[in-house]
Structure 1
């Protein structure tokens, strides 16, 4: 390696940004191994943001990871504000806290693989008009992105208008490409390992899961399905999704396939309104309309249209994931096509504390 080339690598610093809300059991398996597999002195940093976890994450870090904090490779931040997990906001906070000129989103359940950092530092020393992702074949690794921090800041970070699970990553990729930055892919399968977990765990700390009450489906025809989802706070959403290949009903026997299909579309933005329960009677109010129906164990009829209650938990989780992904996808498409500014009032605003020091607040404004 010639001296100029070596100097270019050493001038770069990569920050692996991890956000975590109640995923201690993942951090216990991945964090130390990722550090040991990618420890390059001053060229690597791990930023761990505790997004107000209640599972003992902070205590575990203090007990078992202080040696890495003391040597400077790990920075631990905690915020006491969020009640629920917000993917885009949490990642924006972590990226803003990063000291490296190169930043990487690293999910808590991901294993980087040996020398991932070295390969990325090498690539960015050769070309800085790039960003790296996986080949997008794996849901578990889909969110890993490596890019220059200045590019991240310039495009406005992750879109905080996208809530719930899914598409915040693809939205970021698409905006980077639109800016003229070249998307490249890492293919080494050693970089693709992650801890398997359920769909329920994916969304267990998010607002749609915490507020969920019940889900009803009405099969209009083999390719069109109307969804009615009731929330505990008295709100509901109702709308139609289409699948011109299979039809939603075909996924009941294998809900896992719902997450992988790209053929499903929202027909329009979902209607939103309020619902009120009077014994077994339910009133839906939206816009200037209202509809009353009677609850029973498996089916309700609304204006002559039958809706069947979904009872299988795995199918419920799959539909909820699908719905949030497709709603975010539509928002993203509209934002990009209309050239709307992402996060016009700023992003990643938060108050955090570093390395267990609660005497000094860090304000991200």
Structure 2
């Protein structure tokens, strides 16, 4: 590799998980190293005549060898039959499938699971040794002392069955609508869907017919699990009066896990711990340019337990909930501490 870095097939007689593999089947092998101390992938640079490390690697828990250099349970095989090498990992305690996308993106995890019971992926390795696993006719097969009592003396999963282990997939808007069951006399209509709105957690109608929506695009660990906020407030409009929203306007962005929105005066009230604030578009461009903090000090615990649920009561008060997050509340306008 570039620089002073050295890679070894063996270190003190221990297999380091160094493999050559043509991941994208372009006729040129990539160099993969995978052990508990190192996960990396390199491609050969003709221009520089050296191995250059790529920006991605195998997932942290999908290893070729364990700390003792033994078979950890990973195999490269084209599970989804797209001509690229996917990574199937399976040992006595867990299993996962990672689909290869490209040399720019690497593998994308389809599922990762702990062993719980029947119907799971057969173990490829067990206690550091091959568990009698091989691939044939679009199946993973396992034959060992545990399978001798089975009807065909082997255990297996087809590639199609492996793909299905990812669990239920998102439905299209029309399919989701058809799946909703209501009592006789009621019906459900689709008024908005992606891409007009994404990750909605709360909504409220304004007197002008706008549908205000908070979107928690940063749940649960921020953008790319970096902690960066990406919550949004947008409003939807039905511009042609057909009962379906057809226009979406981003009103606010960069919020930290927004949980509630309520149409109020010329703008909206938004809950996003530790704050409840009012936002308004004063120049008519659809973007909030006025933001006024009303209350602060709400607890920032579990995102699902934060201040939320703005409701206008019959007594003309606005009510909200705060889960079990607590906090030391303060009225920003008056300076009064609330208990």
Using the size of structure 2 for normalisation, the TM-score is 0.20
Q: Which structure's relative contact order is higher, taking Cα pairs within 8 Å and 6+ residues apart?
A: 1
* Higher share of residues assigned helix: 1
Which structure features the higher share of strand residues? 2
Structure (1 or 2) with the larger CA radius of gyration: 2
